[in-house]
Structure 1
Amino acid sequence: MGDGSLGRIFALVRHDARLMVRDPAPLVVRTIMPLLIMGFMQPLFRVALRAEGVHDANGAEQAVPGMAVMFLFLLVNVVGFAMFREHGWNTWDRLRAGPARPFELVAGRVVVPLVVALLQLAVVFAAGGLLFGLRVRGSYLGLVVVGVPLALCVVMLGMALVALCRTVSQLLVFANLAALFFAGLGGALTPHSALPEWALPIAPAVPSYWAMRGFSTVVLDGGGVRSVLLPASLLCLFAIGLTAVTLAFFRTDHRKVSWS
Structure 2
Amino acid sequence: MARLNLLLQAKEPSVPVLMTIIPIVLTPFMIPGNRNTLLAEGYAHATGAEQAVPGFAILFSFFSVQLIVQMFFNEHRWGTWNRLRISSATIVDIILGKAGVAFLMQLAQMAVVLAAGSMICGYHPNGSLPALIVVAITFSASLALFGTCISLWCRSEHTALSIAMLSGILMACIGGSLTSVDTFPYWARGLARISPAYWVVNAIKTIGLDHGDVRDVLPDVMIVCGFGVLCLLLIVLRALLSRHESTGVSQD
TM-score, with length taken from structure 2: 0.93
Q: What is the root-mean-square deviation in Å for CA atoms of aligned residues?
A: 1.3
Check the 8 A contact 1:17/1:112 in 2, yes or no.
yes
Partner of 2:52: 63
* Aligned residue among 163, 176, 184 for 2:173: 184
Question: Is residue 2:7 matched to residue 1:23?
Answer: no
For 1:33, what is the secondary structure of its paired residue? helix
Q: Which moved more, 1:194-203 or 1:40-49?
A: 194-203
Check if 1:170 corresponds to 2:167. Answer: no
Find the counterpart in structure 2 of residue 42 from structure 1: 31
Any gaps of 5 or more consecutive residues in structure 2? 247-252
Q: Classify the secondary structure of the residue corresponding to 2:187.
A: coil
| Alpha-carbon contact 1:145-1:228 (below 8 Å) kept | no
Q: Following TM superposition, by how much is the alpha carbon of 1:142 offset from its aligned partner in structure 2, in angstroms?
A: 0.6
Runs of 4+ residues over 3 Å off in structure 1: none
Hey, what's the Cα distance between the residues in 2 that align with 1:243 and 1:41? 34
Structure 1 or 2: more helix by fraction: 2
> What is the deviation of 1:199?
1.5
| Deviations, residues 103-151 of structure 1 (Å, cap 9, x unaligned) | 2211111111111111111111111111001121001111011111100
Deviation at 1:62, TM superposition (A): 0.3
Q: How many residue pairs align between the two structures?
A: 243
**Partner SS for 1:199:** helix
Output one character per residue of 1:33-75: Cα deviation in whole Å (capped at 9) or x when no partner: 1111101111111111111111221110000110011101111
Percent identity, aligned pairs only?
A: 34
CA deviation string 1:72-117 (max 9, x = no partner): 1111111111110101000111101112222221111111111111
Asked whether the 8 Å contact 1:74–1:179 carries over to 2, the reply is yes
Partner of 2:232: 243
| Corresponding letter in the other structure for 1:132 | C
Residue 205 (1) aligns with residue 190 (2): no
**Aligned-partner residue type, residue 247 of structure 1:** V
Give the TM-score normalised by the residue count of structure 1: 0.90
* 1:194 aligns with one of 183, 198, 201: 183
CA distance in 1, matches of 2:191, 2:41: 22
Alpha-carbon distance in 2 for matches of 1:117, 1:184: 18
